[in-house]
Amino acid sequence: MDLPNLSIASLGGTVSMQARVFGEGVVPTVSGATLLASVPELRTLARVTVETLQLLPSASLSFEHLLSVLRWANTQIELGAVAVVLTQGTDTLEESAAFFDLLWDHDEPLVLTGAMRSAAQTGADGPGNLLDACQVGLAESSWRRGVQVVMNGQIHSAQAVRKTDSMALQAFSSPVVGPAGLLLEGDVHYFHPPRQRHVLPLPQRSTHKVALLQASLSADSLLLENVLALGYDGLMIAGFGAGHVSETWAGKIDAIARKIPVIVATRCDCGPTARSTYGFKGGEMDLAKRGASMAGFVCPRKSRILLWLLLGCQRQDDLARYLRLLQY
């Protein structure tokens, strides 16, 4: 039987972690090849190429790292891979997925997965998640869906998925919309057909900075007041409730929004920002008049990534359009 070509890369994370010294905690040490060896079934499904691109906890990944990984993944597709699977840490998995999804211009799937239990733990979930991710990548029904996250038997779209528990095995969910599909007895089942995708050009620069500030009760405005002086090129605010800030913060946004793009999202785990409900100073209607863009269903972290990519390819004037396109 002529098997398809599948490419896998390891970036590190819990899925690759073991303890070098007992009692001192786990660190990334397990290569992609070693992880692959723990899933012998994969050799019966595809001709597998595996590389270890990084061995980092995902909190230490950067946009520059991800752009390098994207170049590698693009090359794998050009060489004939029918899918690419990446393993990384779960701390930033939802952000990496959103980043790649905005830049992945292939019909072939790009699938991300990780683990909540280290490679040394009894009942480690990494091998099972890797097998599931590869089965999703190899499924014909996964084409033209962009980037998927596969964890614990569930398939999540990159723009909807969130890490909603810090340590539980069932750590990932897609608020409001639910998972995109499930794996059942090795078969891939999607609940809906693929959506139209809107891919950005690769950023021409990567040195620009987008700040993310979170509104909180009685917060001072010192950081907000210094965003421009600190050289930031964009500002992302995780606001209260439906996208609100204090009167003090609202008064600072006018001057900032005249200089750099400002987005306000909700800091809540579920739900969108409002558009035309609250008219008080610092409410969403007031902030829009001051020049801020409301993120709708796009969470603060993914809104920041969108703005960083738009700035990088000089498409910041399309911010409102892309925020609309990313709504559920």
Which stretches of the chain score pLDDT less than 70? 1
Return the pLDDT at 20: 74
User: Does 3.40.50.1170 match the CATH number of domain 5-190?
Assistant: yes
For the chain, the structural domain boundaries read: 5-190, 210-325
Question: What secondary structure letter does DSSP report for 240?
Answer: B
Estimate the crossing angle of helix 93-101 against helix 63-78, to 10 degrees: 50
Contact status, residue 250 vs residue 281, Cβ threshold 8 Å:
yes
pTM, two decimal places: 0.97
| Chain position carrying tokens 């500002």 | 235
Return the pLDDT at 119: 87
Q: Do domains 5-190 and 210-325 have the same CATH topology?
A: yes
Does 14 qualify as catalytic in the annotation? Answer: yes
Contact status, residue 6 vs residue 49, Cβ threshold 8 Å:
yes
| Closest C-alpha to 252, from 266, 268, 264 | 264
CB atoms within 10 A of CB 235: 25
Return the pLDDT at 24: 77
CATH code of the domain made up of 210-325: 3.40.50.40
Return the pLDDT at 233: 98
| Closest C-alpha to 199, from 89, 93, 74 | 74
Return the pLDDT at 194: 97
Q: In degrees to the nearest 10, what's the CA dihedral of 282, 263, 63, 31?
A: 70
For residues 27 and 243, what is the distance between their CA atoms, to the nearest angstrom? 38
Return the pLDDT at 324: 96
Beta 172-173 vs 181-184: how paired, if at all?
Answer: unpaired
